[in-house]
Amino acid sequence: MAQESPKNSAAEIPVTSNGEVDDSHEHGYHRDLKRSLPSGLGLSETQITSHGFDSTKEGVIEAGASQGGQRTHTKGGPVILADEIKNPAMEKLELVRKWSLNTYKCTRQIISEKLGRGSRTVDLELEAQIDILRDNKKKYENILKLAQTLATQLFQMVHTQKQLGDAFADLSLKSLELHEEFGYNADTQKLLAKNGETLLGAINFFIASVNTLVNKTIEDTLMTVKQYENARIEYDAYRTDLEELNLGPRDANTLPKIEQSQHLFQIHKEKYDKMRSDVSVKLKFLEENKVKVLRNQLVLFHSAVAAYFAGNQKQLELTLKQFHVKLKTPGVDAPSWLEEQ
């Protein structure tokens, strides 16, 4: 009796009755493989893809999201773990940390300067121009306040003159024996009221222009000055930190801190230089604009007041036409000269 030759199990390929390959052994292989996986990895989190023996594509095994990374599935390739996405809360926390550190450094610099212990960077020419601007702003505000008081008082006088003129005109009609006398006074008060309204229009126009110059143009420049001063404090704060680190020892621990401090110092130095340049440009344009505006408004104010008190009605009206002033109801501000331009 001949002994049967042993058969290799890998060479056995079962065939069904219709000639197709029986894959029941392959399903059994998958089932045994799933049973052998660690218990911490659920079947629902595992996908096994097999290919034929002649396939050149790799098998893909997808697992659930692992700790510290995000699962990325690439078709026909191995499993790739992407970097963990940054948490928005952590980013906000980092911003708060940087802001707190910057605030601490600036506060320390301010206190140090007030106590006379710290040094500060000073641009003598620029600082002098800023001081002059602030002093001029106070003086212009005082002129503006006085002009507004004058306009209020003139409005009240014009209103009284109108009422007095109406009273004279009424008595002129009812008192025949004093008809002419009351009539003359009525005409005089009405003419004064009319000229007063014209002067009031010029004064309101002057007030509106000076108000625009003081509370818009100059204020905008002072806001830039404020930003420049903040940039100067930050620059000096980081400059002081760098100087202190450079005075200390240089070793493996301090060199990275010195490099980081040097980097931050350079950033704030560039910011400071830019803000200083912006302030210089704005101060230059402000000076040109201020001279142009005030020259026109002062000429208008002088001509209108002189013509009014001289009783020259034609000259008063001509002055307002020359400066394109449109008369409005007394007490209502005229449009700003800057806004019209």
3-class SS letters over 263-293: HHHHHHHHHHHHHHHHHHHHHHHHHHHHHHH
38-51 tens-digit pLDDT: 444 444 444 444 44
Surface-to-core class of residue 296, CB atoms within 10 Å of its CB (0-12 exposed, 13-18 middle, 19+ buried): middle
Q: Which residues 6+ apart lie within 8 Å of 148 measured at CB?
A: 207
Tell me what pLDDT residue 114 has: 82
Q: How far is it, in rounded angstroms, from Cα 192 to Cα 249? A: 85
Average pLDDT, integer, range 219-237: 92
**Cα→Cα distances 337→28, 122, 281, 328, Å:** 93, 37, 23, 15
pLDDT over threshold 60, residue 306: yes
Dihedrals phi, psi of 325, to nearest 5 degrees: -90, 125
Highest mean pLDDT among 17-26, 28-37, 50-59, 289-298: 289-298
Q: Helix (H, G, I), strand (E, B), or coil: what is residue 328? A: coil
With left for phi above 0 and alpha for psi between -120 and 50, is residue 19 left, alpha or beta?
left
98: which 2 tokens?
């940087």
Q: How far is it, in rounded angstroms, from Cα 81 to Cα 32? A: 27
Surface-to-core class of residue 73, CB atoms within 10 Å of its CB (0-12 exposed, 13-18 middle, 19+ buried): exposed
The whole-chain average pLDDT of the chain stands at 76
Q: Which residues 6+ apart lie within 8 Å of 112 measured at CB?
A: 118, 240
**Per-residue confidence at 320, pLDDT binned at 50, 70, 90?**
confident
Contact indicator for 287, 169 with CB cutoff of 8 Å:
no
97-129 tens-digit pLDDT: 788 877 888 888 788 878 878 788 888 999 999
Q: Could you tell me the pTM of the whole model?
A: 0.63
192: which 2 tokens?
């004064």
Pairing of strands 61-62, 70-72: unpaired
106: which 2 tokens?
């600036």
- Between the two ends of the chain, the Cα-to-Cα distance in Å is 122
pLDDT over threshold 80, residue 14: no
Q: How far is it, in rounded angstroms, from Cα 209 to Cα 35? A: 89
Q: Which residues 6+ apart lie within 8 Å of 225 measured at CB?
A: 130, 133, 279
Contact indicator for 47, 60 with CB cutoff of 8 Å:
yes
Boundaries of every domain in the chain = 200-323
For domain 200-323, the CATH superfamily is Arfaptin homology (AH) domain/BAR domain (1.20.1270.60)
Q: Helix (H, G, I), strand (E, B), or coil: what is residue 238? A: helix
Of 65-79, 95-109, 198-212, 270-284, the least confident: 65-79
pLDDT over threshold 50, residue 69: no
Dihedrals phi, psi of 14, to nearest 5 degrees: -65, 145
Q: Closest Cα partner for 150 from 274, 308, 340?
A: 308
Q: How far is it, in rounded angstroms, from Cα 159 to Cα 122? A: 55
Average pLDDT, integer, range 51-80: 44
Average pLDDT, integer, range 237-259: 84
